[in-house]
Structure 1
């Protein structure tokens, strides 16, 4: 295939990949073949070096084991981390150019990590986006190890704007889907705090009650766009909980959980008084399908203030949703922001029985879990009484 035909074929595949992520391996493999590279990788991260998305492909085949070893063992200690993050936009840079001569000889990251990636003689480019994201594209070593030919480098340069545009389209589509109808409806509810997080743990949106808590620093804050607990000991637990609920770069299934956070003492009638802690319920949202680092809702945090806890009528829930009395009671308490253990304690049921009830409710309602059920139950309270 002549270079122009290869270029046109790659362009077609890139735009297919922008609309359907399942086509990205085919586009990546075509790039490798046409450019004579062993593989290429797309990495999306933040200015601080945090990584949100990785696509490590070698002739279209993913190798997450190699990528994981590099990013867990070498990347945190890479002497040129800041230099990579601050690479000039859109300019091709050989991997060896990132290191000073002395570092090139002594760096474990370059001599071991980049060799592991098969990219010691690779070509890299970085693009900074207005929202603070960095798109990093690395083309691996040339096949045969004889160095790059000018025609190969020229083809990579021609492809740069098209690879970038494909990623941006994918990110835009992900952002457009970030607030699906069910999730957007939750933001309109003023009876329970709702915070939506993207895959990097950054706050995408919050409703009125949650914003009020964040603004006052009343147990929770959103410093630097990240959800944090005001008390350091609570924040460690919160970050661990969010880490389990957010998509894992290496494919581990996310899982939700609950916790409480202490609130600062409040001045009342000339003296300080304590208040009940906030209850947080964290749920993963959607699947881990690659969105090239685009900002979409990846986790939902329900924030329950005991002083503002909604009261849901289980009789109405049963009649409206076709649930048994026990199912309706469990659904109502869940929508009030109660955890499984709290529901068990209030009802006298075993926690295992509560979980089985909730799974049965999810099946009956055709929903995937708490994130979908809660707005449905809360919406009943806005309907006129019979």
Structure 2
């Protein structure tokens, strides 16, 4: 990674407002941008990049102020993810997932549990990973005295080797009851594999994980009191919350693609020899495409910010979240997820039309933007997001909570 890491974050006053934290994220993004293409090609585990997030204070953005966190809310966190993803989609995803898993204790756990987790996470600058791929139903949880034992395998475990703690998910043996627990990432029996070899999001450490009798105290089972789960509607807000993480790092990648392409067009692109213009920046077709893509990106960003504000109102009063409010929010999230997917894919593709043939050189790395968005947008089919919106428009039907809605 670049050695241009700022050295004055620890001597400057910490950011105090949302705007200042977004500016700090922009500083982090500028550091990541210096060698983003080279790091993408190398595919090295991003230990230095995660340390950069810790040194900058972004890791504890959502943490309680009294324990060293920034005390910011989700509207700021989403903007921070977007800024970081401009330079590096992988690191933007890692940070966004970290925020969700850090917040998961509050979503699912008891007050005593989440207050403890958030305090420890802020004080120790924990970076969270998660072995919670919902399509894998092969992690079984058994009881052994005062402990729970997790055994099985997950296909994906984002953040694995760069995490300090990992959120585990499994099903109690012989039941359909899921259980979540946070364990140290170096726990005995927890083995992360080097099998993440996809075309995009190469630095997310999203490979498989084996759980060979990973033990954790019963008291760490999120939301359980006397071994019985205490359900709340707020528990189900985990899906729309992380779907907005997806939205914002897609839009961040798209913004980074446009900015990088525009710099290339201004400094390296040649005008077409039959166009009659001396500069590529005077080509009317080039101007039109940049204008079109920018307008689409701005519209998607505005919708994303509006939906984030709607979600924050639910986070502000968790006990008041109703099934109807939760369902209405999910419809809005589905709509912006569909828009962000289409816009980011279009931008990642069309930037080559305004940069030219030489921009396809591996050294330029412009392909990483499309590869990153294309890879992650397959997480769940966007057609099903549009279906949620369409069902609501035609029948007033609100989506039921699932692992993907």
Is the pair's TM-score, using the shorter chain for normalization, greater than 0.5?
no
Give the structure with the larger strand fraction.
1
TM-score (norm 2): 0.24
Give the structure with the larger helix fraction.
2
Which entry has the higher C-alpha Rg, 1 or 2?
1
